[in-house]
Structures are given as structure tokens and as C-alpha cells.
Structure 1
């Protein structure tokens, strides 16, 4: 019996060497999770039952299970935006022609159709976008990056916050002229875009008319917004309270509408224009429509936060939503797994969102090799959500999760397994000596 017990110990030590050796071999494998050999003692039982503990005979040791340890590995930075690491719990979900696998190895790249794939050509899964580029929350599929250039977008809204200096006096030159700075108090400008991506400059000229009222004259490219052959501006009248806040905006210009409840201004009649080679009677180039159009719904202009305080004229914030055509320049992936394509004009466009899967019992996952696991009865079904949802970890782009193997610990385990093997071999040697002694009795 002692021979069998010692043999079981040698087999156990050999299994431990296998597990430890596999851990050491994968110390440099991205996303690898180390394993641990777990052993249990064995007892012989009779055909009729186990009997009392005093009559049970020890049978040595057996391999109970090989557990996977899913503790976090170190995260190392890379230069590839599609290298992804999970900081926390969860797995990337990948599809091999519809067969799902789960991995912590974030080596990703693009195939010739722009799909995000692993080194084994498995498709990364996430929330996809529809034909209009809108993220479809809950619709899981193969993530794809469209690297086409970005079409231009005509300006549809302008938001501007400015302060008009209340201590200024009305200009002494009464008729307004954009060419005469003495006819206005302050001016500023903002770029606008037409349907073809041409940039136009809207310039605003502010003229104080009384203690709490100002006129805003608007020219686009120095021309009348609705009639590029003319240089007369559109004009708004702005009335401020004694506390400096905006009361009302009114306008007599036919190309402007104003909502009296919100003071929102809508530029309804803008004809994008450009200089032509033709000259007028004075030798000046003639302006004409450039073939593009403005946003069909007009340009909504928000000046409701404008103020009139006794301080220098300033534009505190300014934004507009139009842009010109541009080329694809790269990708950005944030901690929530949102994938954006970046363009040369600075715009970002949503391309999808990476999802993560988690399991009630990750140790029950079935290893498939290539740093992949498959769900099993023991693991339970995957729960899929965006990164950062609940207990799921965050995504780190341009980074990879290292193997969680502690090499020093594994080398110590090698020594322990070797000694266990030698000790069990010594048991066999001792038992052999005893047997020889018995055989030698006369």
C-alpha cells in the first residue's frame, strides 16, 4: 500500500510541476491568468461502505482541481489605440463566426473591411451604430470602424456669451459703417459653414444707442446675409435691464426671426456667397451665390446669456456646430468603451461601444487556448454591459494587461514540487528496503 501512496504523491508533484511550468511558460502572455493545482487526500473504502474512520485506509493524494486565478495583472502602455486593457473585472467578448469566446487579451486590430478583430481573426463585440451614425444601445454585433472622410456639416446653431461695456458712450458717428470703427463700439466674429464645407465669417458690430440698449449689426463675409450683392447688415436691437441682464431682442430685418419667449434668434435667410471674377462699374469684384446652401432650418443663434456690465467688452464663450470636409486621422477609445473616429478638422464621430461580459463564477470558465475562455454550466451565463457598469472594470486604450503570474512565487513552487517528488521517491526507496529485509528473513 505504501508504494501506491508514494506513487500518488509523485503523480501529484508531477501535476504541480506541469501547472507551475505552464504558468512560467506564460509569464509574458498578455491577458494570461495563472492556474493553481489543488490536491485532496484519498481514502480507500470497502464495497459495502466507508466504515468507521478507524478502519479507513489512506490511499495517498489526488488532484482535486486546477483552479484559475483571475486577479488583476499589471497594465502596460503601448502606442496602438486598439490595444485595450480591462482595469477591473470582466472579459472582452469575441465572436468566431457566431461562436462566442471571452478574453482578457486586448490585442486588437482591423481587417480589410474595418472590423475590429483579435490575432485569431475573432470579431470584437459591442454596441453598433446605425446607418445615421447613432449608437444602438443594447444591439450587440461585430464592431466596425469606417475610415471614410467626414462630409461637411452646415452650421445650424451658434452659442455666444459676451459682455457689452455699459460705461461706453454711443458713437459720435451716427450712420453705421463696417469700414468706420468710429461708428461702432465693439465687434467680434465667428466662422460658419455652408453645405459644401466652405467657411464664412459672420462679423457682429455692437453700437450703443442709449443707456441700456444696443444694436447688433450682422454681416457675413462683409455682405448682407440674404443678398450678397449688398453690404447692408441685418440688425438686432438688444434691451438690457438695470442689473445688466438681457431683457429682449427685436429685429426689423426680414431674414431674422426671434422667439419672444426665449429670445432665441434664427437666421432664416442666408445665401452663402463668394467673389466672382466679374467686376462692377467701380472695378470691384462682384459677389454672388457660391452654389452651396445654408442649413435648411436656418441658423439658431443663442445670445440669451449676453450681459451689459461696466467692464471691458469680452466674448466669454463661443461655439458653433458646423465643419468642413476632412479626412480620417485616427481613433480614440475612452474608459467607457466608446469608440470615436478622429478627423483632421478636430471632429469626433461615434463608431460603437465595446461591451464587457462577466460571470457569477469565472473559475468555471472552460479554457480554449489563445487566451480564450468559453462559458460552461459551472461559470453560468454571461452578463453583458458597457465598461464601468456595476462592478465591471474600465477600459484603458493603448494599453495591455500583463500576465498575472508572479515569477518569483512560481520558482519557489518549483522547488517545493521538486522536494515533494523527491520525498515521495524516498518513501518508495524506504518501502523497498523494508521489503528486501522481509524477503531476506530465513
Structure 2
């Protein structure tokens, strides 16, 4: 019996050393998860027959953060796996967030070119109910869009000089208004239009606002529109006000038609009015891309605009320990793992995706060195039992 027990111990210790060696070898592998050996005894009736390796499990604990070297590098902080497919459509899962763009614009992992999957955006909008598939970053130019609505914010000085009704407002005469601000809008072809907005203090708590598309004035009243503002004792507008600014066609574009909300207060601070927000854009060339902390892939254009083109999907399992290792830091679904459930960064039990970061291996080299010493001693001890059993048998053979 001693030989079989010792041999089983040698085999188990050797397999344990294989696992330790694999952990140490992958201590610098991005997204690698350390393995650990489970042992079980072997019995025949009441007689112990030795030991066996019951299984090798993986520690799916979080690895430390590391700075990525690519705009498409990403890290999952918390639960979840990146979902990838190969050319044949087979699905794999992994934690290695080293991705790049292939020649066709698809996001693929660097180790074996598998396609990262997620939701593709339509006109910058993600539809979570859309079909999950390979993510592609389009490099098309951003087309122009006309500005149709915007707003200005700021403050008008309450004790600014009051300008009488005469002389009549004249944009060429600075004595007929207190302040002028400018808003930049775009037309249907992406041409920029300077919208001039003039503020006239007509009485306590009362102002008149004149506005014009100075680039391409409309035909009526030289394109000027006006509205009257009245502020309460709290410095807020008594009624919401807006300006409907209409220009003329410009360089072949459609006429600008912009509704500008006046989100203005009045108090003793100096007058300062600025653009709050405005839609529309000039045409833009594709410049670059990045991954946000919500897992959205964002294209960056030369006109300063950014547009979401896709969102990365994460997968998780009821029993991640039941996944089958496929090499290259990949796992595949099994009956033991259960079917995957999908989600996005930060949703429910899913972790957060951090763009520009990578998850380091979770191998603890100190623990592995200690384990290696323990398994080595275990191997030596089992070999010693075989040696002792051999000596006992030799003694029996030598009996006369």
C-alpha cells in the first residue's frame, strides 16, 4: 500500500507545482486569474489509499489597476466579463481589456483578433434593446446640422444706466444700448453665423433685448427681433422669454431659424451674458476615439463635437467558477457555469468599465512562492515514504 500512497502524493504534488508554476509564469499577464489546487483523499473501505487532485479552481478576485497604452484599453472594476466572438460566431469571455481597431474598423482583442461585442449606436443614441454584435467605429465625417434652439445665461446689472426711449436703438451707436453679446450658430451647410444680442436698460427691472443674425440678416426689420424683459424683486424673470431669430439663405444654405431662450437674472453684479447651449454643428473630420467610464465608445471630431458610436456589453454568470478555460485568457460557457446574463457598465451587479486602464494579473507572488515551498516539501516527503517502503521490502527479501 505504501507505494501507491506515496505515488499518489507525488502525482498530486507535481500537479500542484504545475499550477503554481503557471500562476508565476502569468503574473504579468493582463487579466489573468490565479488557479488553486483542491485535494481529496482516496479510501478503499477503511484503508487510506492516498490523495488525488479534486480540481483546479480559479480565483476571480479583482486584479490591480494599470495604465493602458491604447485609447481602446479598458478595465472592468468589479463583476463581469468582456463578451467576444470569433469569425465563426462562437462566443468567448475574458477579462483582458487590451483592444485595438482592425483594418475594417471593428474593435478586436490584441491576443487573437476576436471581436468585442456591444450595442451599436444610431445617430449617437444607444438602444439597449438592439441586437448585441461586434462593435465597429465608423470613421465617416460628421455632417453639418443647422442650429434650431439654444440659450443664453448670465446676469444684467440692476443699477446700470437707464437709456431713454430716444434716441432709438441703433446697433451702430453704442449709446443706445448697455451691452452686447454674441452667439455662434451654424446653418444647414455648416456655415457659422454670428448672432448679436443687444440689451437696453429701459427702467427699473425692465430691459429690452434686440437680436439679429448679423452674418445673414433677414428681410424684415433688417433681421432684428426684440422682446421685453421684466424682473421681479428676487432678480428673476417674471415670465420666460425667448427670441425667434430668422436669417436669410447664405452661400446656398437654408435660412437660419433659431429659437434662443433667455435664461437671465438681474442683480447688482456686473453684466455678463454668455452662451448656455446650442444645437447644430459644422462638418467635422474624424480625429480619434476613446472609451468612457460607462463603457461607451466615443468618436472625436475636428469640429470639437463628440458622438457615442457604441456601448460595450458585459456578461456574467451564476457560477463563474464553472467556466471552461480556453487559453489566451478566454473562457467558454458550460452547463456548470449556467447561461450568461448581459448588462452594461455599472448596471445592477456589473462592475464599472474604466477607459484607458487595464486589470493586472491577480497572482500574489509572495503566496505562490510559499505554496511552491510547501508543495516541494510535500513532494520530497512522499518520495521519502516510497524510499522507506522500498527499504522495508529489501529487508524482508534479505531474511534467511
TMscore range, shorter length = over 0.9
Whether 1:129 aligns to 2:121 is: yes
Gaps of 5+ in 1: 46-55, 249-261, 273-288
Supply the distance in 2 between the matched residues of 1:22 and 1:41 (Cα, whole angstroms): 24
- Counterpart of 2:80 in structure 1 is 90
The partner residue of 2:377 within 414, 419, 424 is 419
TM-score, normalised to structure 1, is 0.85
Partners of 2:28 and 2:308 in 1: how far apart? Answer: 34
Which of 293, 302, 305 is the aligned partner of 2:261?
302
Q: Does 1:365 align with 2:323?
A: yes
Tell whether the 8 Å contact from 1:94 to 1:101 is kept in structure 2 after alignment. Answer: yes
CA distance in 2, matches of 1:361, 1:343: 42
- What are the within-5 Å matches in structure 2 for residues 41-440 of structure 1? 41-45=41-45, 56-96=46-86, 97-119=88-110, 120-130=112-122, 132-139=123-130, 140-171=132-163, 174-221=167-214, 225-227=217-219, 231=222, 233-248=224-239, 263-267=241-245, 269-272=246-249, 289-294=250-255, 298-303=257-262, 305-315=263-273, 318-440=276-398
**CA drift at 1:24:** 1.5
Instruction: Give the match's secondary structure for 2:23.
Output: helix
Deviation, 1:235, is 2.3
Task: State the TM-score, normalizing by the size of structure 2.
Answer: 0.93
In structure 2, do the counterparts of structure 1 residues 212 and 423 end up closer, same or farther at CA, with 3 Å as the change threshold? Answer: closer
Contact 1:222 1:231 in 2 (8 A): no
Q: Answer whether contact 2:181 2:274 (CA < 8 A) is retained.
A: no
- The CA distance in 2 between the partners of 1:17 and 1:243, in whole Å, is 77
1:137 is paired with a residue of what secondary structure?
coil
Which sections of structure 2, spanning at least 5 residues, go unmatched?
A: none
Shift of 1:170: 2.8
Q: 1:235 to 1:40 in 2, by over 3 A?
A: same
Distance 1:79 1:221, change over 3 A: farther
TM-aligned CA distance change 1:310 to 1:34, over 3 Å = closer
SS, match of residue 136 in structure 1: coil
Question: Cα deviations across residues 155-194 of structure 1 (Å, max 9, x unaligned)?
Answer: 1111112322232333365122212111111111111111
- The whole-number CA distance in structure 2 between the counterparts of 1:175 and 1:263 is 22
Structure 2 match to 1:252 = none
How far the C-alpha of 1:361 sits from its partner, in A, is 1.0
Q: Provide the rounded CA distance (Å) in 2 between the counterparts of 1:174 and 1:222.
A: 25
Q: Deviations over 1:101-121 (max 9, x none)?
A: 000011111111211111212
Secondary structure at the counterpart of residue 376 of structure 2: helix
Distance 1:201 1:330 in 2: 29
Cα distance in 2 between the residues matched to 1:169 and 1:19: 83
Structure with max Cα Rg: 1
Distance 1:226 1:6 in 2: 98
- RMSD, aligned CA: 1.9
Q: Distance in 1 between matches of 2:190 and 2:396?
A: 101
